[in-house]
Structure 1
């Protein structure tokens, strides 16, 4: 298809799930790819890309560490000579613990990876892109960042921050020809949500997965990858500072079971 011929794409959180699917799609469409993850599984992603005949570099990094994120962007330049696209996808869930069951340390770690991580990506990548005349950055947010009911408190707050971050970054990069957008997945089968899927299947309730959205199903990582590639491509050349929701319609109402103060969830 070639939408990314001669371009270089960096993907964080590429060891599995949405990040792996996105990295593979970038490679299929002509990009040379740098994949990064804290897990050794990033090497498996790189092997898949090589088997498909594309060029790839794999690095193990902490996406919430300033020095390591800057090193990742420099590695893309050193290996491939340019940087055109970055998908800031690395994230952690933190579970479904309520406000009164989490500590400040829990919040700091979730925010460090999920919100400071994308900030570090933008801060490190944007100057390098600007030197070459522009680029595109896509951050993974979540429908949990739109309103309550789709994630734990700290996770939801971190993803709301990502949505505002891309809006703020788009404004502060005025004139740099760099677009910054977010994708907001709903329930997608990834390592982060695997326990939900496994539990439903073990209980014989697989048909209830995703029942709260109008499509009545969960999503697949490749469906999010398609949205990321659109936002990163020239087809989205006039899309900037936007949070694209890909959730089967869940966020059109966001139904959920309320958890009152001092009471268990219904």
Structure 2
């Protein structure tokens, strides 16, 4: 029960990695604010309640400062403060290349994927420090490590998240608030559901994740377990790090290169 009595916020908790993490936090004694901009937040909170855990749901936009402060306030109101924040919410932004990417699209991807974690740290770190310290975990991506695992908009946003974890860990020096990031590889979530559904229908599941040494995609629970490790005292000396959880993909990032003016095949 690593999180017994702890007050925890999980964003993007309506499905996928966020839902898996919220459920696991609650199973280990955490009191969880389940935040998502969809009704999935209520579903996750109900799953936790049905299992005997403690959770409260809130609709929030991770890239809205007003929503983030409201969510942190709810943790204080219901659970007396904040100990752990898992800033997991994100969007994909499609797969267009640089020349086909609309400025409005990349601005929205950056607003949710990068400004969202920035706001989580800005408003989440002070109350965590007031409680004597704790942890913030951000969801980045292997796409943020190097080229080849995502669109330009998504990749740039996740590279920013990795750097944000490093910078904020330094700027929180002396606060006892640790900041780390997880970098998922291909994981079966709402964002990647079409890919997995197509592979199953076409009988091509053996091709999903074939570029990583484990030759498979991940399940959300596998990513959640790493997020919980980083949020727990088990990782008490891990700070400012980006941990790849990708089956080994980022050890080489094999890709089919796209030539200028041509479409990759």
The TM-score normalised by the length of structure 1 is 0.99
Q: CA deviation at 1:54?
A: 1.1
Counterpart residue number, 2:210: 211
Aligned counterpart, 1:60: 59
- 2:162 equivalent to 1:163: yes
1:82 Cα deviation after fit = 1.7
Secondary structure (helix, strand or coil) at the match of 1:244 reads strand
Q: Distance in 1 between matches of 2:129 and 2:231?
A: 15
**Structure 1 segments of 4+ aligned residues over 3 angstroms from their partners:** none
Shift of 1:264: 1.1
User: Paired residue for 2:2?
Assistant: 3
Deviation at 1:201, TM superposition (A): 1.9
Q: Which residue of 2 aligns with 1:70?
A: 69
Q: Which position in structure 2 is the counterpart of 1:43? A: 42
1:128 is matched with 127
The answer as to 2:184 corresponding to 1:185 is yes
Distance in 1 separating the partners of 2:204 and 2:220: 21
User: 2:143 maps to what in 1?
Assistant: 144
Tell me, in whole angstroms, the C-alpha distance in 2 between the residues paired with 1:259 and 1:56.
46
**Deviation per residue, 1:132-165 (Å, 9 max, x gap):** 1111000000000000110011000000000000
Question: How much does 1:203 deviate?
Answer: 2.0
Distance 1:166 1:251 in 2: 19
SS at match of 1:191: coil
Computed over aligned residues only, the root mean square deviation of the Cα atoms, in angstroms, reads: 0.6
CA distance in 1, matches of 2:198, 2:95: 15
| Superposed displacement of residue 23, structure 1 | 0.1
The TM-score, its normalising length taken from structure 2, stands at 0.99
2:250 is paired with a residue whose SS is helix
Q: How many residues align?
A: 265
SS at match of 1:79: helix
SS at match of 1:180: strand
Q: Deviations over 1:176-215 (max 9, x none)?
A: 0000000000000000011111122222211111100000
Query: What SS is found at the alignment partner of 1:83?
Result: coil
Aligned equivalents of 1:203 and 1:7: distance in 2? 44
Q: Can you list the C-alpha shifts for 1:27-53, whole angstroms capped at 9, x where unaligned?
A: 000100000000111110000000111
Distance 2:122 2:247 in 1: 32
1:237 is the counterpart of 2:219: no
- Give the unaligned 5+ runs of structure 1: none
User: Following the alignment from structure 1 to structure 2, what is the Cα–Cα distance between the partners of residues 10 and 218?
Assistant: 27
